């Protein structure tokens, strides 16, 4: 079991991304970084300040950025390409499919501003379908770190593994839940709380909400198993099947549409041995403009709703 607690310390995953990139840049001269006119927002500008000869801002030309990334990868470069999630996946899906995923090129797409918590920018910028889009692509690995600590653990690991990756992070600061760094393993789930009444499987910054839900349920005498799933593809089938067998009920939690994301991946993993399951996510609707926390509450992406759904799915066991 991995030690994790929702602390009062807050840190932005974009800051962690830039720090990890710079450290990686010092260690490996083959690392190059691309952005599409949003380098100040994605924080990749910091890498460009330290390594200007290895940083390329292509302007508002995301599809072209993916083509350039693919070209650099054919020259044995380790390429990180960043922009907002809505542009990184939706605007240039064909280029990712044809030029990166199909030839298995060494491009790491790290997308920021994912999910409903983008807030005031509204539905046009709240990317809720990116996991589904990237999961569907052969050869693509899909990750969603929980906090800044894990983000710093993820970047060097994916840089060391050949082939394409998609990493999604949000806009807002997130609570630190992992105070110690560890060797991150792609495709590995992490049990953060033990329990046998229900399993809560979460990804990204929803893991902090899952840990809070555990505390709510514990007060009512319910022992929940909290499983953090930072890798959505390839997913840890063994952890899911073990949780299904030992708890008999599952709740998934993600800041993404319930269609095609973590919930669907979990249900597919236990298709031959199904148990009662509820998916917490955005229920097949677009978002709207509002404060980040206000929107999380309106769309049920909270510890309180996770706990409510856990109680509901426990009843279905009987």
- Strands of the sheet containing 190-193, edge to edge, are 190-193, 224-228, 198-202, 250-257, 277-282
Q: Per-residue confidence at 42, pLDDT binned at 50, 70, 90?
A: very high
Q: Are residues 151 and 212 in the same domain?
A: no
Angle at which helix 262-269 crosses helix 237-247, to 10 degrees, equals: 70
Domain boundary among 121, 144, 175: 175
Quote the pLDDT of residue 199.
98
Q: Are residues 20 and 132 in the same domain?
A: yes
Any idea which residue has 């979460």 for tokens? Answer: 202
Separation CA 63–CA 34 (nearest Å): 12
Q: Per-residue confidence at 221, pLDDT binned at 50, 70, 90?
A: very high
Quote the pLDDT of residue 80.
98
Quote the pLDDT of residue 69.
98
Q: Please check whether residue 181 lies inside any domain of the structure.
A: no
Q: Are residues 205 and 267 in the same domain?
A: yes
pLDDT tens-digit series, residues 137-196: 999 999 999 999 999 999 999 999 999 999 999 999 999 999 999 999 999 999 999 999
Separation CA 93–CA 114 (nearest Å): 16
The residue range of the domain holding 19 is 11-175
Cβ-contact 229, 202 below 8 angstroms: yes
Any idea which residue has 């993600």 for tokens? Answer: 254
Q: Please check whether residue 2 lies inside any domain of the structure.
A: no
Q: How far is CA 146 from CA 95, 174, 189, 203, 211, in A?
A: 28, 8, 12, 7, 11
Q: Which secondary-structure segment (H or E) carries 274? A: none
Q: Are residues 242 and 106 in the same domain?
A: no
Q: Are residues 128 and 64 in the same domain?
A: yes
Q: Are residues 164 and 210 in the same domain?
A: no
Q: Please check whether residue 6 lies inside any domain of the structure.
A: no
Q: Please check whether residue 236 lies inside any domain of the structure.
A: yes
Domain boundary among 111, 146, 175: 175
Mean confidence (pLDDT) of the chain: 97
Catalytic residues: 62
pTM: 0.96
Residue 318 has pLDDT above 80, yes or no: no
Q: What is the largest CA-CA distance in the chain?
A: 62
- Mean pLDDT within 230-235: 98
Separation CA 267–CA 140 (nearest Å): 20
Q: Are residues 160 and 31 in the same domain?
A: yes
Any idea which residue has 């292509």 for tokens? Answer: 58
Separation CA 257–CA 314 (nearest Å): 23
Q: Please check whether residue 234 lies inside any domain of the structure.
A: yes
- Mean pLDDT within 282-305: 96
Quote the pLDDT of residue 165.
98
Helix, strand, or coil (residue 60)? coil
Q: Are residues 292 and 195 in the same domain?
A: yes
Strands 141-143, 231-233: parallel, antiparallel or unpaired by DSSP? Answer: antiparallel
Q: Are residues 56 and 143 in the same domain?
A: yes
Q: Are residues 33 and 133 in the same domain?
A: yes
Total domains in the fold of the chain: 2
Q: Per-residue confidence at 1, pLDDT binned at 50, 70, 90?
A: confident
Q: Please check whether residue 230 lies inside any domain of the structure.
A: yes
Token pair recorded at residue 68: 């350039």
Domain with 276 in it: what CATH number? Answer: 3.40.50.920
Q: Please check whether residue 253 lies inside any domain of the structure.
A: yes
Domain with 128 in it: what CATH number? Answer: 3.40.50.970
pLDDT tens-digit series, residues 81-133: 999 999 999 999 999 999 999 999 999 999 999 999 999 899 999 999 999 99
Q: Are residues 162 and 248 in the same domain?
A: no
Q: Please check whether residue 115 lies inside any domain of the structure.
A: yes
Domain boundary among 134, 152, 175: 175
- Mean pLDDT within 12-17: 98
């Amino acid at each position: 079991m991995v030690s994790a607690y929702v602390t009062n310390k807050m840190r932005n995953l974009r800051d962690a991304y830039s720090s990890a990139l710079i450290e990686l840049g010092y260690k490996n001269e083959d690392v190059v970084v691309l952005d599409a006119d949003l380098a100040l927002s994605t924080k990749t500008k910091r890498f460009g300040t330290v390594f200007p000869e290895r940083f390329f801002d292509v302007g508002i030309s995301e599809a072209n950025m993916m083509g350039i990334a693919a070209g650099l990868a054919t020259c044995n470069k380790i390429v990180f390409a960043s922009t907002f999630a809505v542009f990184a996946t939706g605007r240039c899906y064909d280029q990712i499919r044809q030029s990166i995923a199909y030839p298995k090129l060494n491009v790491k797409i790290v997308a920021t501003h994912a999910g409903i918590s983008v807030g005031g920018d509204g539905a046009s910028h709240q990317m809720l379908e990116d996991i589904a889009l990237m999961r569907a692509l052969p050869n693509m690995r899909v990750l969603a770190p929980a906090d800044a600590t894990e983000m710093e653990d993820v970047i060097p690991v994916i840089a060391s593994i050949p082939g394409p990756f998609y990493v999604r992070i949000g806009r807002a600061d997130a609570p630190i839940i992992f105070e110690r760094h560890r060797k991150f393993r792609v495709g590995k789930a992490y049990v953060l709380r033990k329990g046998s009444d229900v399993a809560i499987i979460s990804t990204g910054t929803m893991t902090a909400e899952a840990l809070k839900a555990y505390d709510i349920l514990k007060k009512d005498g319910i022992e929940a198993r909290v499983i953090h799933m930072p890798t959505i593809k390839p997913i840890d089938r063994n952890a899911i099947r073990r949780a299904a067998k030992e708890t008999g009920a599952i709740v998934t939690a993600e800041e993404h549409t319930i269609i095609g994301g973590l919930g669907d991946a979990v249900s597919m993993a236990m298709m031959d041995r199904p148990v009662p399951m509820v998916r917490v996510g955005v229920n097949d609707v677009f978002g709207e403009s509002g404060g980040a926390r206000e929107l999380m509450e309106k769309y049920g992406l909270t510890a309180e709703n996770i706990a409510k759904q856990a109680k509901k799915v426990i009843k279905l066991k009987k």
